[in-house]
Structure formats: structure tokens, C-alpha cells
Amino acid sequence: MRPIFSLCFVALFISGVFSQATAQEEVAAFSEITRHDQITLGNDMSVLYRKHHVLIIKNANGLDHAAYSFHQNSRNKLLAFDATVTDLITGKVVKKYKLKDLGERSLISDISLYQDDREKFFDARNFPIPCKIEIIAEHSSLDNFFINSWDPQEYWNQKVVKAEVVASYPPSVGLRFREMNFEKGPAKEVSEGSIQLKWVFEQMEPKAPNPGEDYPWVQFAPARFSLDGISSDMRTWEGFGKFYAQLIAGKDELPKQFKAEVHKMVEGATDDYEKVSRLYSYLQKNFRYLVIFLGIDGWEPRKAEDVLETKYGECKGLSTLMKGMLREVGINAQYALVFADDKKKRPLAPDFPVHSFNHAFLRIPLQDEVIWLECTNEFLPAGFSGDFTADRDVFVITGDGGFLDRTPKYAEAKFHQVKNNYSLELQPNGDANFSGSNTYGGFPAIPFWALERYADENTKKSYLNSQAAGSGAIVANFSMENIPNREVPRTTIDYSGIVQRFAQQTAKRVILPTHWKKMDADFLGEGNLNWEESLEITLLPNLSLESGIGEFKHQDNLFDYNLSSQLVDNKLIVKSNLIVHCPEPLGKEDKALLVNKINDQFKKTIILKKSEMP
């Protein structure tokens, strides 16, 4: 006979599921959690983490909420792990796990040469539903350089019965915190040699997936810290900068023989930007990106001399080499840190210094401007980083500290230009011979710069058929030129070929498009674009205008569109201009809706009447 408590749980469980199904406004809970976490800082700058989580898994989707993984290396160790899985129908323990039972895999990637990280993981799958999973784990870090943040509700569709975290630290080391998206304040206890902060959350209802929603979490950072014997103070950005200044000091020194080569590279350069551009081009052509993570090398760059000898490096090493080359020719380049390639940008608070970076690059103050140099890129012009680091808070390291700055947003029209000019000669079967000239500026030019760097001729032609030209194009001949117009990448493409079924035909009419190239989401970037298109279509002598000629304007809150067309002799001339001006970056769904709106405007047609051919 099954225990009575199991039958009661089944009744409550079914009742809960039924209630969720009948109340559409409620969000389904895949799991419920009761959790206690501890973060303990030591006098030796070490950090000890303990967790005790009890999860009730209500359906198979909730099993992901019990997954556990830990990145282990020479500085971070998983000390203990226990997990117990209980079938809530029978009340029996299904399985127990110890540290030795965890899965393990290397974290070496395709672009890593040396990396000592390994992942320990608990795979919470194939357990009976409903079940209870209790996890107790403990891990340590030798340094308090990074202190894990804490959020009480880690998953969508998870109900929090109770979540609490206790952070303890000695006053001599110190601990700073920042509450995000709530103002609760911790309970504080002071005892001899220790200060304890405690946050408690109870009865947090499950939330539906919404990546844009702000959720409560606590960010921690040390006051004093140490990393591999280098100690500093993180309470101010200046103090934090002094630590990084120590890490990079002397690393950009170049071998004597190479210094002479560097000077030869910039001979005849007319200004500092040209010097930067030449040295940057040398770096792009001769060094490859390869990650090296061993111990402190996760934060400390290799020496420029080592990068020079091996011909590879990651962001820190390549930036250090470039910094040394620029210093040799009298240009001051500043080492800078940023959180890059993240759709949700991470702002830096002037009053809360914290290590929140994953990438290094260079800030270069020239006479009339400041440019940013992405040293891992192999094809873009100097001073243009694309959206990888655009419009982000940055920590700039100086010789005696550091300061906050922000990278350019690249919102100006010159970074979002597309100009398409097509000449087409209509054929009796609806096909057309064509020649085209396209010009791209800024973000729209990036794919073509990548093509020039990595692709062969067949790949280039295939890309032009599918992306540059309009529907039905078969490119026969083409030429492509990438022009480094200061820090704005520009591409000009001239090509020719045939267009299959350019015109739609009936027995008495020919229908022509007012646009050949449809709008694509990739052209929109984060929501800015200046698009111009011109069609000159040579008509057959038996065609005359029926409708569709004239002026048309459309204004939307996100774009302005103008279209004009006229018939001159036997040539139909169609010109259009589209300006997209989104005040904020668009998400994937909003961008798709905008593209559909624009392409609806592009669907306008011109109708011609047929007469007997003479």
C-alpha cells in the first residue's frame, strides 16, 4: 500500500495543475524551490560558497531547473556535492549522487590552445514526475576578484517558496553590494571579526519567459581583493585601474629588431590615423585569434614579444602587441575593458566598481578624435568595431588608475547606408538583362569585407546572387572594391547578368515591380538605415503605361518612405528612398514586424498595356 502522504500529494498536485489550466492569467509553475545560499569571504581573500536547494519538480520542463554545473580550474574547486532524488508518488528515494558521480568535460574550444577549465555537471533527466530533488553543494575560490551574484528566482516558470542568502565577511576585507530591481536592504549582524548580511524572499510567483523583464538580484564585489599576489582596492575605479595597470605594465615592450620594422611600416604616413591604420592592417594580416587561459592568464595579457613570436593571441595579447607598436611610433593607446557581444548591454555604475568584463581592446585618443581598435578583427578598417563593442560602457586603464568611458553608438547615417542602382532591359519573355552598382556604408558593408577576407570567387558570386541582387538574379560578371573611408567601411559592387521573370505577364498586360531588392532584417542592424534605390527599365516598343506612375509618400513612427516614377521615352525610371529611425534597438520580433511593414511598401507595382508588335 502506498503511504497516505503520497495520495494527499497527488490530490494536491492534480488540483494545482487543474487550477493553473482554468486560470489563464496564472503562469504555470514547472517547479517550486526552497533554497538557502551562503557566501563566506576569508581573511586570505578566498571565498567559500555553500548551497542547499530543495526542488519540487512538477513536470518534465522543471527538470532543467535542477541542472547543476560548475566550472573548475586551478583557482576554483568543487569541494562537495550531494543530491537525492525522491519519487513523490511512491515516497521512495530513486537515486543518490555524490561528487564522484558527476559528469565531467573539458571546456577547451576550437579557438583555445591552452585552457585548464573543466566542467562538472549534474544531469537532471529521466527522473519520475513529480519528484523532489535536494542538492547540497560546496565550492571555493582562492580569490575574491569575482564574487558570484545572487538572484532568488533563477528560472522562468519557477515558484520560490523561500530563498535566502547569507553573505559573511571580515571587516578587514570588506564586501560591497548593489540591489538590482528591488530596494529591500539586508538584515545585518556584526560579531567579533565578522559582518553578516542576509536577504530573504518568500512566495515569489512564477514568471512567464520575458527576456526584457527586469528581475531582482544582488551584485557583490569586494572592497579589498587579491589575485595571484597582486592586491588592490576595488572601492573606486581608480583603485581598480591600478590593479590592471600592474597586470599590463611592461607587457607591450617590443624586441629591438621589430621596433625598426614598425618604423618602416609607417614611413611616409601623413597623419596619426594613417599610422594606426597601417599597423592595424599588419596585425590583421599576420596574427590569428587563439584563446589561452591558464591560471591568471584569464586576466593577464601575454607579453607582446611572445605574441610576436607565436603569431597568435587572444584579445588581451593582440591588444598588448598593438599597444606596443603604437607606442613605438609615438601614439598613446590605452588598454580598455568591456563586456562585448551581449544583446543586453551591461552598464557600469560610477559608484560601484566591479569586474564585469569579457573583452579587451584599445582606446586611442588622436588629435581631433578618439577611435577604438578591435584587435581580434581580421578585416574591418581601423576605428570601426561593428556592433561587437558599440554603445557600451568601458573601463579604460591608465598608468596610475583608470576611468569610465563609452564607445560610439554609430548612429550617424554614414554607418547605415545602402544605395542600389540598376539598369534593366526588359525581354519579351519577362526576363531582363541587367547591370547594377551597389554601394554600402558602415554596417551593411561588413558582410562584403568578410567576403573579401575569407571567401573564394565562387562563394562571392553566390552571395551576390542571393544577397546583393534582387530575386531571380543570375550574376555573370562582377567586381567588388572595399574602401577604408577613414573608420567607415564602404563597399562598391558592379555586376551584370540576367533576371529571370522580372516582369509578371498576362495576355494583355505586363506588371513591373517598383523595387527589385526586398528589405532584409540584417540590413537594419539595431534599427537605423538610409536606403536609396534607382531602377532604369528599358521597355519593349509594344508596351505603354496603364497605371502606377507618380509620387508616393508614407510616414511611420519608425520609418519614412518616398517613391517616385516617370516614363521618359521608352525608359521607366523609378526612384525610392527609405529612412529607418528607431529610437531604441529592436528585438528580433519587433524587427521582423518592421521588415514586413517596409516590404509591404515595396510591393507597389506599375502596370503596362501590351499592343501588337510592329
Phi and psi at residue 260, to the nearest 5°: -65, -40
CA distances from 32 to 127, 151, 155, 174, 327 (A): 16, 15, 10, 34, 57
Higher pLDDT, 376 or 21: 376
CA distances from 375 to 111, 277, 298, 313, 390 (A): 16, 12, 17, 10, 14
* Spatial contact of 470 and 432, defined as CB atoms under 8 Å apart: no
Residue 343's pLDDT band, with cuts at 50, 70 and 90, is low
> What's the mean pLDDT when you consider all of the chain?
90
User: 27-227 has which CATH code?
Assistant: 2.60.40.3140
Pick from 164, 166, 157, 168: which is nearest to 201 by CA? 164
Per-residue pLDDT tens for 185-240?
899 999 988 999 999 999 999 999 987 778 899 999 999 998 877 788 999 999 99
* Spatial contact of 599 and 518, defined as CB atoms under 8 Å apart: yes
Residue 471 pLDDT more than 90? no
Per DSSP, the three-state class of 332 is coil
What does the domain layout of the chain look like in residue ranges? 27-227, 245-406, 413-610
pLDDT at 508: 93
pLDDT at 23: 43
Pick from 2, 24, 20: which is nearest to 12 by CA? 20
Helix, strand, coil % in the chain, rounded to nearest 5: 25, 40, 35
Per DSSP bridges, beta strands 359-365 and 370-373 are antiparallel
Residue 524's pLDDT band, with cuts at 50, 70 and 90, is confident
pTM for this one? 0.85
Residue 4 pLDDT more than 60? no
Q: Which three cell numbers stand for residue 145?
A: 576578484
Residue 2's pLDDT band, with cuts at 50, 70 and 90, is very low
Q: Which of 3-12, 36-45, 89-98 has the lowest mean pLDDT?
A: 3-12
**Cα(464)–Cα(470) distance, rounded to whole angstroms?**
9
User: What Rg, from alpha-carbon coordinates, does the chain have?
Assistant: 31
Where b means 16+ CB within 10 Å and e means fewer, 155-183 reads bbbbbbeebbbbbbbeeebbbbbeeeeee
**Cα(73)–Cα(61) distance, rounded to whole angstroms?**
31
- Cα dihedral: 453, 456, 458, 460 (round 10): 0
Q: Which three cell numbers stand for residue 520?
A: 532584409
pLDDT at 116: 62
Residue 69 pLDDT more than 60? yes
**Cα(505)–Cα(507) distance, rounded to whole angstroms?**
7
Mean pLDDT (whole number) for 121-134? 94
Helix (H), strand (E) counts: the chain: 10, 36
**Cα(219)–Cα(474) distance, rounded to whole angstroms?**
55
Most trustworthy range by pLDDT among 25-29, 127-131, 472-476, 485-489: 127-131
User: CATH number of the domain at 413-610, out of 2.60.120.1130, 1.10.10.60, 3.40.50.300, 2.70.98.10?
Assistant: 2.60.120.1130
Which class is 245-406 in CATH? alpha beta
Which DSSP category does 299 fall into? T
Q: Which of 110-119, 155-164, 286-295, 381-390 has the lowest mean pLDDT?
A: 110-119
Residue 2: what residue type? R
Per-residue pLDDT tens for 419-439?
999 999 999 999 999 999 999
Residue 463 pLDDT more than 90? no
Higher pLDDT, 108 or 145: 145
Indicate the burial class of 360 (C-beta count within 10 angstroms; 0-12, 13-18, 19 or more). Answer: buried
Pick from 335, 326, 324: which is nearest to 250 by CA? 324
Residue 293's pLDDT band, with cuts at 50, 70 and 90, is low
Q: Which of 82-86, 113-117, 223-227, 533-537 has the lowest mean pLDDT?
A: 113-117
Residue 485's pLDDT band, with cuts at 50, 70 and 90, is confident
Q: Which three cell numbers stand for residue 490?
A: 564602404
Mean pLDDT (whole number) for 93-99? 96
Helices (H), 249-271: 256-265
**Cα(186)–Cα(198) distance, rounded to whole angstroms?**
5
DSSP, residue by residue, 137-166: EEEEES-SSS---B-S--STTEEEEEEEEE
Residue 525's pLDDT band, with cuts at 50, 70 and 90, is confident
DSSP, residue by residue, 439-480: EEEEGGGHHHHHHHHH--HHHHHHHIIIIIS-TTEEEEEEEE
Residue 461 pLDDT more than 90? no
Q: Do domains 27-227 and 413-610 have the same CATH topology?
A: no
**Cα(603)–Cα(583) distance, rounded to whole angstroms?**
26
Residue 122's pLDDT band, with cuts at 50, 70 and 90, is very high
Per-residue pLDDT tens for 295-329?
465 788 999 999 999 999 999 999 999 999 999 99
Instruction: Identify any residues that bridge with 84 across adjacent strands, giving them in sequence order.
Output: 96, 134
Query: Which uninterrupted H or E stretch holds 193?
Result: none
Which percentage of the chain shows pLDDT scores above 90?
73
**Cα(588)–Cα(586) distance, rounded to whole angstroms?**
7
Residue 464's pLDDT band, with cuts at 50, 70 and 90, is confident
Pick from 531, 465, 520, 524: which is nearest to 493 by CA? 465
Per-residue pLDDT tens for 538-589?
999 999 999 999 999 999 999 999 999 999 989 999 999 999 999 888 888 8
